[in-house]
Chains A and B, each alone.
Chain A
């Protein structure tokens, strides 16, 4: 069970307080109508799903109810940082 630091609450809390919201930094296209079905499908469904460093979004559902990002290693489950929506990660890695 993960121990996740919420950058809003500034506390590490149990995973049970949060819900996982998938890959971070997937920006909604500004003009969806201008996209092809392929480009729109890519936004909707296709993900990098790396083994290793992953930037992902979590929601402090039974805490402050705020979304934030986490950099986590999907193999070791080590959490390397938590950061606010709109910020860029400090830790990046080759996605293997």
Chain B
């Protein structure tokens, strides 16, 4: 779509008529083209046609904004020696940011003196001269100034990098943690932070005796991993930081919205007084009314199924659409739920089945496992009353051979009960995502970014002991919620066997095949599996592969992508991999694995990263809407 835009707008007049959103999209595309054109000059990549850009009218600020980048890019190719170039670029960055700071109306946190401090600092604040340049800062300020932030606009801007000092706010907005409406922001954040504190005291600050075996194992695993998180940044070695990280990660374990849903269900059930409330009585359960009728009896003795598919039980019930869809697919036997896994000889102990629901019941006091067992053993007795629903559903579940069977035999007149089987199937059968090594890495960008609100300077000089307890807990809460929001979009990346990641690895392989056939063929000939190197990329979202000071910039783009992130990751990683396209073709299997697992990115600056992102953006616009493009 972006493609056609480009081709159609030949004259300047046309473009002015375009809506503002289109223009910004277009200009982003053009900017990308510039970057790519500069850096890729002379390299043969498919889609060269795209590189012939039209001369479009640009407003002054954006020319200023782009020129340094563009020139640097050119020099990159011509100079050849990257060492020399890096220095030149640094100097340039230094001079431009100095200039910016002088003219800048807004006081930036990174002051000029700081920038001059060390070369490392320069690299860090480089954010490309672009992110901190005054025009961009103005745009961001404008986008954030209204009472309601237009997220689309913000995403657009954030995609190419966010200035350091507003990054925390922008990230919170992009992740949907802070509301776009600024009036409500304070209140919502306060509530969420309290909620986090509640979770910590409920799940983390309890003696081990109250934890299940799984939970103890998980805590142990997290405790083993926290000290090994970003060991090259000394700040993360502070015991207090590690403790914070541990709390965030462990508490995240419980932030399954599924769990919240089952809690609300139980709450709902508990507050409901059963209709009639009288003594238990026998009732006819072959129809909804509870009264005997010939028809249902006839169907029963004819052994006919009551109805072909229990669509009413799935769609007519007021549960989140996600649950309904899940149950629907499960009912059709299209989901690898436990029974399917069993059939395929892959039994697994599903932790929620063993631990989650019973502990949920236990914590609510009224329903404990013992009474559930007692009830199950005497389930011939017809029950009424509130204990019935959940327990009966559980026991039916343990007898019923399939989801379909369970749904089909679930007849309850009371409205609330209709939800029960769905939630319970969901809670028991839906694979739980849980802490996986590497998620600790994913929490670190949030920690660093939100800490920058409280502490001055670079992460190397930080000490968390400078923070008040309240600030630490707010910081943790922000990290916790943002991590949850980020991972919500990648639910099946961290469930059993990590199907989400496997799917993306496969997509990556396909994309690389389409973009760079020789490399793809060479890798195949060498017997190299994409899973052997790309698994970690997806699992840790590239944090392990690039220097830590570049990660926040990369995440600006991730968060700007929002829900589309998993798909876009494939493009970023393809672009990342093919940075070494020539090199890869010269390596044999073992060299390939070693090379790809220890990529030479230690000296990367923002330039190389921008290059990867720009190219990813370009390929995305080329391929994504035309699946067969170049698929000859």
A and B: bona fide binding partners: no
Residues of B within 8 A of A (CB): none
